[in-house]
Structure 1
Amino acid sequence: MKKLFFIISLILFNLNQAKTINDSLFSPNNFHDEILFNECDACGCAAGNGSSGFESLLNPQFIGIKYFAQHYKAKENLFVNDLTQDQYFNTIQLWAKIPLTQKLGVYASLPFHFHEKKTLQGDISINGIGDFNLMGIYKLINSKDNTHELNGGVGVKVTLGKFDEKGISGVNPSFQLGTGSWDYQAVLNYRFQKNKLAVLLNTDYTLKTENKKHYQFGNQWNYSATGFYQILSNDRIIFSGKAGFQGEFYDRNKQFDEVLPNTAGSALYGKLGFEASYKKLSLGTELMLPTYSNLAGGDIEAKSRFSIFLNFGI
């Protein structure tokens, strides 16, 4: 299954709600691209960072709600070699994309986390509001025939989620509601579209700062490529399938400016899903499985991710 995900990982596409014109997937007069952005809803290295990808989708500007679930395996303690501890990171997120001008838009998201890990001493759970994300997105290039488009964005993550200093002593220091720090983000994506197929390539980087507890999560680089293909379209309904991949790299964490071992890592996921729209409503879901996982020096293994969202066009 993992090999299948990797082989069919195509490159990416973006849809809008407009009617098909001349067998084209988009209406050039109405299209407004949505940027792909991998958020760090929880924080830190690997597990719990919440990099689900921002792909919104059939409505060009929207408000909506999204559920995102992650599953990891971790070492229970220093005396156990097997990855036996299940860790579940769950997020319900309010998000929105609002245009300010023809080229400039604002993206914002506010997550609520409820995380759980199963230890030999019993289950441990935390829940509460996460860090607020705010980003400006600017259309840098847009060809006359709307075939090529390049977008760039910069943003900030506002520290609203609680950071628990006790949590950094575990195998996964990212078992947190927030980083406790103001972090800064930059993103760049390119889109090519032709008829019913389009491709979108994305890369983004998050610069993380030291929090009040003198702890600093490692910087994070994400890249992704996903393909969407229109399967069904009429005056009111659009339905598309998607496949792709997403990769993530994490630098080492620091405390009192000292580098911490076994906190860096990387992972690569394959993903499949679908998206559909009816009038101003759009629904999408995605399943991600790892093709490669090397997190926290091998102490953490990525297992799966799942997301589903419902958006309302504005």
Structure 2
Amino acid sequence: MNIFKKLGALTGFLLFATMVPQANACDVCGSGVGSYYLGILPNFNKRFVGLRYQQNRIQTHLGPTGNRTVNTADEQYQTMELWGAWNFGERWRVMAIVPYSFNRRTIGTGAQWAESGTKDGLGDIVAMGHYKLFDDMHTTSNNTLLMQSLWIGGGVKVPSGTYDPSEQSKVGAGAANTFQLGTASTDFMINAAYDLRLMDAGVNINTTYKINTENKHGYRYANKIAINGLLYYKLNVKDKLRLSPNLGVLYESQSKDVLDNRFDVATSGGHSTIGIVGVEINAGKISVGGNFQRPFSQELADGRILAGNRVMTHVSFSF
């Protein structure tokens, strides 16, 4: 298969991904049952294990014009994740993410603040498997090195995090069902990751479609699609340190959650576009990195939810 056929296959896959029925406000906002952003993986040949920290903020229960009310809640989600991956041969990879979340919520306006809730605990564990569909490296006509690879795969999220049905009971009063550690449902993911690099400059594209099932309480978070693209450049410092600054965009979208298999949840659904700036640093077997994510376009829960900035950092060890 030549390069044009490979690029054609990739284009077809991405077009298919963007045409999948729009995918859960909590996933898009990045709450405790949140999204599984991968970005640029640490450099490793065989396997790696590490810790990843994420912090996200959202405002829920906004007024009909997006204004704050006495019921408006400020929610903060901090998640520490144990994550890792293992390559089997040249084509197969398995990954796992074990999150532990610290959720905080306050309600009020102006100087009238009141601590209204905390939830700390294990989140929903994720396992994923990937297959390298192709890996191409050759020299172009002007003697520059061109490399590209495409990984495809899928995964499962198990309901290991606590789900509080009392939060679900508030959706009829206009509250979003975001303040959870888990979804109480077994969910599935389809993923593709494409990387194209010309010498030291490259682009990384990652697409994930998450298929959610109904939990035992009759609540189903809507399916979600997330597509992110990152431009990066690899800088080699004295053959001991490699820096990879990156810049990109993340798009997330979903339809409405469903209650009792028939009622759409008004305070759910929507889409957002988020700018990303970050850096990855590799020194031998140690990799560290981080990024800052800022929404610059969003329409969540018909304007009743507002997503804030996100921060992500990680440290990983390959062996």
Query: Deviation of residue 231 (structure 1)?
Result: 3.0
Correspondent of 1:58 among 25, 43, 50: 43
For residues 47 and 59 of structure 1, the distance between their equivalents in structure 2, rounded to whole angstroms, comes to 27
Count of aligned pairs:
273
Correspondent of 2:29 among 29, 40, 46: 46
Correspondent of 1:140 among 133, 142, 147: 133
Distance change in 2, residues 1:139/1:118 (3 Å) = same
Deviations along 1:70-125, one digit per CA (max 9) or x if unpaired, are 01122367899427532111100000010122100101110001111111353311
For residues 103 and 232 of structure 1, the distance between their equivalents in structure 2, rounded to whole angstroms, comes to 27
Structure with bigger helix share is: 2
Q: Does 1:260 align with 2:265?
A: yes
- Tell me what 1:36 maps to: none
Q: Structure 1-normalised TM-score?
A: 0.81
For residues 247 and 158 of structure 2, the distance between their equivalents in structure 1, rounded to whole angstroms, comes to 32
- Tell me what 2:182 maps to: 178
For residues 189 and 95 of structure 1, the distance between their equivalents in structure 2, rounded to whole angstroms, comes to 18
Shifted more, 262-271 versus 229-238: the winner is: 229-238
> Do the aligned residues in 2 keep the contact of 1:222 with 1:248 (CA within 8 Å)?
yes
Q: Structure 2-normalised TM-score?
A: 0.80
For residues 134 and 162 of structure 2, the distance between their equivalents in structure 1, rounded to whole angstroms, comes to 39
Q: Which structure would you say has the larger Rg?
A: 2
- Tell me what 2:251 maps to: 247
- Tell me what 1:32 maps to: none
- Tell me what 1:108 maps to: 96
For residues 80 and 293 of structure 1, the distance between their equivalents in structure 2, rounded to whole angstroms, comes to 12
Q: Structure 2: 5+ residue runs without aligned partners?
A: 1-24, 109-113, 139-145
Percentage of matched positions with identical amino acids: 25
Distance change in 2, residues 1:119/1:78 (3 Å) = farther
Q: Structure 1: 5+ residue runs without aligned partners?
A: 1-41
> Do the aligned residues in 2 keep the contact of 1:45 with 1:263 (CA within 8 Å)?
no
Distance change in 2, residues 1:54/1:180 (3 Å) = farther
CA RMSD, 1 decimal: 2.1
> Do the aligned residues in 1 keep the contact of 2:28 with 2:35 (CA within 8 Å)?
no
Query: Deviation of residue 47 (structure 1)?
Result: 4.3
Correspondent of 1:211 among 210, 215, 218: 215
> Do the aligned residues in 2 keep the contact of 1:45 with 1:296 (CA within 8 Å)?
no
